[in-house]
């Protein structure tokens, strides 16, 4: 299989962690690519019309996206403990945590595009404030419900770890740990895993 990657993408990191946890690294060839909402990458867009990373090219040549679909597909290819619980409350908790983490990341990316990509004279402070409020509310919910993050690694808690890692990478000045000691302690513990250590974002 072939996986389009970027070392700065938190959605790619989710997939890279699943690859490692599922023992599939030897079957994946990584292809480094660069994408931007205002500078499309033709190679990526041929396989994913949305022009986003990650994209997985399966062994039959078909392209799979977005990151939740790639992660669930890869999780179906191994016989070890599953990262996607099969059914029932554990599945809904894991999928909802993934949605919360990915939604936090969507807000963080939009805030970053506004400050790192858009020309300065066209920036809208209310837009940035609105996205940062989503991030803060999501972090507060995770601090409150930190017990949901415990236990075995799932697609839910690993997505949260990627979201928090991205905030450390791109929004360190916002100091998300302040007032959220339980979430901070949880991240420190889960980050000891080899799959997380091996995928720390770099730009």
Evaluate whether 109 touches 103 at the Cβ level (below 8 Å): no
Nearer of residues 15 and 196 to its own copies, judged by Cβ:
15
CA distance 111 to 115: 7
Contact between 122 and its own copies (CB under 8 A)? yes
Decide if residue 100 touches its own copies (CB under 8 A).
yes
For its own copies, the closer CB: 104 or 162: 104
118 part of the interface to its own copies, by CB under 8 A: yes
Applying CB under 8 A, the site for its own copies has a residue count of 45
CA distances to 26, 51, 58, 167, 194 from 84, in Å = 21, 26, 19, 24, 19
Query: 3-class DSSP state for residue 30?
Result: strand
Among 3, 19, 22, 104, binds its own copies (CB under 8 A): 104
**Does 146 engage in binding with its own copies (CB under 8 A)?**
no
Identified binder of its own copies from the candidate list 31, 81, 140, 194, rule CB under 8 A = 140
By CB atoms closer than 10 A (0-12, 13-18, 19+), residue 41 is middle
Q: Does 37 bind its own copies (CB under 8 A)?
A: yes
What are the E-state strand segments in 7-53?
A: 29-32
CA-CA-CA-CA dihedral for 183, 159, 193, 185, to nearest 10: 0
Stretch that binds its own copies, among 1-9, 26-34, 72-80, 188-196 (CB under 8 A): 72-80
Question: CB–CB of 16/53 below 8 Å?
Answer: no
Binding positions for its own copies, rule: CB under 8 A: 36-40, 45, 49-52, 62-66, 68-69, 72-73, 76, 87, 92, 95-96, 99-100, 103-104, 107, 118-119, 122-124, 126-127, 129-131, 133-134, 137-138, 140-141
């Amino acid at each position: 299989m072939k996986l389009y990657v970027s070392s700065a993408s938190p959605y790619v990191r989710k997939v890279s962690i699943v690859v490692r946890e599922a023992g599939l690294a030897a079957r994946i060839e990584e292809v480094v690519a660069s994408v931007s909402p205002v500078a499309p990458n033709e190679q990526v867009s041929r396989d994913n019309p949305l022009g986003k990373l990650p994209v997985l090219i399966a062994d039959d040549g078909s392209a799979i996206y977005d990151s939740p679909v790639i992660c669930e597909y890869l999780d179906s290819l191994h016989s070890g403990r599953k990262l996607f619980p099969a059914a029932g409350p554990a599945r809904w908790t894991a999928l909802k945590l993934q949605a919360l983490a990915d939604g936090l990341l969507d807000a963080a990316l939009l805030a970053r595009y506004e400050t790192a990509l858009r020309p300065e004279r066209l920036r809208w402070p209310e837009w940035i404030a609105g996205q940062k409020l989503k991030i803060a509310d999501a972090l507060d919910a995770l601090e409150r419900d930190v017990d949901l993050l415990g236990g075995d690694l799932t697609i839910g808690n690993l997505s949260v770890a990627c979201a928090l890692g991205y905030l450390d990478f791109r929004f360190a000045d916002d100091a998300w740990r302040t007032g959220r000691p339980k979430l901070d302690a949880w991240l420190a513990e889960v980050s000891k895993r080899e799959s997380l250590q091996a995928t720390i974002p770099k730009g």
